[in-house]
Amino acid sequence: MSFRFTAAHSSRIKKSTKPPNLKRNASSGSPFAALPRRKPVQRSASKPEPTGEDDEDLFADHLDDVGLVKALATDLTLRDVSQAILYIRRKMYSTIPDQRGGMNSTRIAEVLNFHSSLPPIVTVSHVQALLNSPTTVEREIAELIKKGAIRKIVVGGRGSMGEALIMVKDLDDMVHNSNLEQALKDRFLEILHEHPTALKIPRSMLSEQDAKAVMHAGFLTTATPNYTSTDAFSKLGDGARGTLTSLNSISKAASGSLAAVGGEGAVHAAGGSGGGAKLPGTGDYSIALPTTGPFLKLLANARAHLVTLLSKSRSREAPEQLLRQRWEGNVESLDAASTAKRNRGEFAGVLPGRTRKWKQFYGISFEFILEECVGAGLLEVFDTGSIGRGVRAI
């Protein structure tokens, strides 16, 4: 047996059997390139990956509650109901951005026309949210209605949202700007001024023809008897229910004319918006305002959307500033940081015209819809004592 024994045979160091072209070139890369790779650590299945909504929820726990905010109005000059109505109307919509608004001239005109088409009304619950005492507000509203300064309009089936207030001066302007004849305008305004607290007008005060004209203008509604949609076109006589003209005369009318589609006001006569003026109604006439339906629909959708934004937080409450950002959308600003991001080609936010606030809600301001939800009993505002005011869903 030979006693020649070297360290090369006893050492565990072995030469690599991989070809040279498969080795990592450590000299050309990072100094850690030669270290062995490890498999990524497997995360537990009980901890799912955070979603974008969870990343946005920075206030998952309940906020500190020092006390509820009794009056939402920050303007100390608001002392009565009339000032509150003007204040609400003035701040209902946000100002259309003059730079990088994301809306062309056609869309801007559409938004402005929609704003001008809505009646200048506010809900009673909104006024109560601004002022301190609801009992005092109700008493003052009743006194102002009796004196003829404001008027209450009630829309059935809408709950608290259906009780609206309008300044008498604004109502008079709407009547003067309507398509009614001047004599009928004066007669209708005289009736309204003689009965400032009335929600309905007796049938004896207006002739049937005048009542139909006022209904078509949108200032009156009436209850109609039940009938089916086929009854409106089932008879050929001139007195067919729900039609202004008979089917016999419609069939003889020239194609493309108003008479070929039932004449002017056919939609109202068939039971559409306007209360069905041709049908014999029952009871007294109810005082109404034109385009009140689109106003209430816009209000209801905006309320529901704000409550949905607050529901993104697990505790259904969030700071007022965070809720404002969600309502405004991830819009870009005009500060130096956002300008620098745009110059570098980075994302600096979306244009205001592409947000839901302007596309669906025509620019309703955050303050307006927040006060509306608080007055309706959907949300409440409280003081956190550290980060300003908080908003909580009820």
Domain-wise residue ranges, the chain: 55-68+295-393
pLDDT score, position 229:
40
Average pLDDT over residues 23-44: 52
pLDDT score, position 59:
52
pTM of the model: 0.69
223 or 53, higher pLDDT: 223
Instruction: Report pLDDT digits (tens) over 206-252.
Output: 999 999 999 999 999 986 544 444 444 444 444 444 444 455 555 66
Average pLDDT over residues 268-282: 47
pLDDT score, position 70:
74
* Across 1-5, 92-96, 132-136, 233-237, least confident range: 233-237
Strands (E), the chain: 67-68, 122-123, 150-154, 163-167, 200-201, 220-223, 282-287, 317-319, 379-383, 389-393
State phi, psi for 153 to the nearest 5 degrees: -120, 130
Instruction: Report pLDDT digits (tens) over 188-206.
Output: 999 999 999 999 999 999 9
Instruction: Report pLDDT digits (tens) over 291-329.
Output: 999 999 999 999 999 999 999 888 899 999 999 999 998
Tokens of 313: 């937080």
Would you tell me how many other CB atoms lie within 10 Å of the CB of residue 108? 14
Would you tell me how many other CB atoms lie within 10 Å of the CB of residue 165? 23
Burial of residue 390 (CB within 10 Å: 0-12, 13-18, 19+) is: buried
- How many Å apart are CA 161 and CA 140, to the nearest integer? 19
Integer-rounded Cα Rg, in Å, for the chain is 34
Average pLDDT over residues 115-135: 91
SS (H, E, C) 155-211: CCCCHHHHEEEEEHHHHHHHHHCCCCCHHHHHHHHHHHHHCCCCCEECHHHCCHHHH
- How many Å apart are CA 367 and CA 124, to the nearest integer? 16
| Residue 74: pLDDT over 70 | no
Single-letter code of the amino acid located at 60? A
| Residue 109: pLDDT over 60 | yes
- How many Å apart are CA 377 and CA 383, to the nearest integer? 17
